[in-house]
Amino acid sequence: MPELDNRTARRIFLERHGLADTPSGTGKGQDLQQVIDRLGFVQIDSINTVARAHHMILHARRPAYRPPNLHSLHDRDRGIFEHWTHDASMIPMQHFPHWKLRFRRYEAQFEHRWRRDGYDDKLDAVLRRISDEGPCCSADVGLDEARSSGGWWDWHPSKMALEYLWRIGRLAVTHREGFRKVYDLTERVIPAEHLTAAPTEEETVDWACRTALDRLGFATPGEMAAFWDLIKPSEARHWCARAQARGEIVEGRITQADGRLRSSFLPVASLDDIPVRPPSRLRILSPFDPALRDRKRADRLFGFSYRIKIFVPEPKRRYGYYVFPILEGDRLVGRIDMKALRSSNRLHVRALWPERNVRYGVGRLAKLDTALARCARLAGVSDVTYERDWLRDTAPA
């Protein structure tokens, strides 16, 4: 049974997530498409403390990236589409056919709700409205309707219809206005070759497991299923059994940050790969970065426990309101509380918390200054300022 030491495992994982290369490239057009293809998806989030999560994710890998580049790739080039993985995400367009499995399963799960609540007529009305009048957003429909009582975010029926039709694949997001989704008929948004492709359920399960394992480097069946959140864990377990019998994957043991061993599957073809040593540069990551999406995995591999505390009262927070993890080489070395104050044209750093046994000496602080200057440019501000006591020179207990 192959065994990976912790540093090797971290380097493999970071390489698969595009964080082991020296960042270069234009961060737009085909270069940006390749980044998203490699990641598999980019999670979308509305919090704009510095920049929205999707922009920070791409900027961490391409410092030249700027937000309009993603909008061009989605709205104009149709290289990506917006839908759900574990959360709302931008996904490479060539994966759209496999989302038909999600559409079918979501419709089977929630169709009864529409019949029970008597909203069937809303689906037809919304589809007719978009077919006849063109794309619309939730603000364009149902303004005279009463909101539902509980569930579905207390939306009015027509807004629920828009969301439901999007989730079952009848509508697609054509673009966003601000952060509001604008919907159109799917056949007007998705290129024909992807719209008409119809993989079988078995083909989608096979694709989901293979591509998840490729992007994770090593994984349990549960981790494979959770990567795209497209298939069931039981389907991933059955796939692993068949792939192992065919000699395509092998069970190995991965050394965790605490020294314990954990069983995972690895592609046989990857056993002789030498992991890339990441550059020593320092990167500030979004809390929603794909490398951190699975909080338990990040804790096991890096010994980095992270939770977003925006809904926790300030006196109960160990760290700040919305802190950003700091990656240096193959280690997570701290977290930082910062915010773009656009009215005063500056990125303001409130506090820094080093990880245990990490010190911020002159060299590391210089790298942090460089990383903060990059974040400021992404946020569209010119200066970086600091709280007087922003650096805590001892690791938290």
| Concatenated DSSP letters of 132-169 | HH--B-GGGS-TTSPPPSSSGGG--HHHHHHHHHHHTT
In whole numbers, what is the pLDDT of the chain averaged over residues? Answer: 91
> Strand 383-386 to strand 346-354: parallel, antiparallel, or no bridges (unpaired)?
parallel
Give the phi and the psi of residue 4 in degrees, each rounded to 5.
Answer: -110, 130
Give CA separation, 62 vs 28, 52, 224, 242, 289, in Å: 9, 15, 27, 38, 14
pTM for the model: 0.92
In the chain, what's the furthest Cα-to-Cα distance? 66
Q: Which of 37-46, 144-153, 287-296 has the lowest mean pLDDT?
A: 144-153
d(CA 264, CA 34) in angstroms, rounded, equals 27
Q: 179 Cβ partners below 8 Å, 6+ apart? A: 46, 52
Is 53 within 8 Å of 287 (Cβ atoms)? yes
Per-residue pLDDT at 284 exceeds 60 = yes
In the chain, where the domains are located: 117-190, 282-386
Q: What pLDDT was estimated at residue 278?
A: 93
Q: What pLDDT was estimated at residue 120?
A: 74
Q: What pLDDT was estimated at residue 272?
A: 86
d(CA 75, CA 36) in angstroms, rounded, equals 15
The CATH number of 117-190, from 1.10.287, 1.10.10, 2.60.40, 2.40.160, is: 1.10.10
Is 385 within 8 Å of 344 (Cβ atoms)? no
Q: What is the pLDDT of residues 50-70, one digit of tens each?
A: 999 999 999 999 999 999 999
CA dihedral 33, 182, 178, 70 (to 10 degrees): 0
d(CA 12, CA 264) in angstroms, rounded, equals 14
Please give the radius of gyration of the chain, using alpha carbons only, rounded to the nearest integer.
22
- 368 — pLDDT class (breaks 50, 70, 90): very high
Query: Under DSSP, is residue 185 helix (H, G, I), strand (E, B) or coil?
Result: strand
| Higher local confidence (pLDDT), 377 or 146 | 377
d(CA 28, CA 65) in angstroms, rounded, equals 6
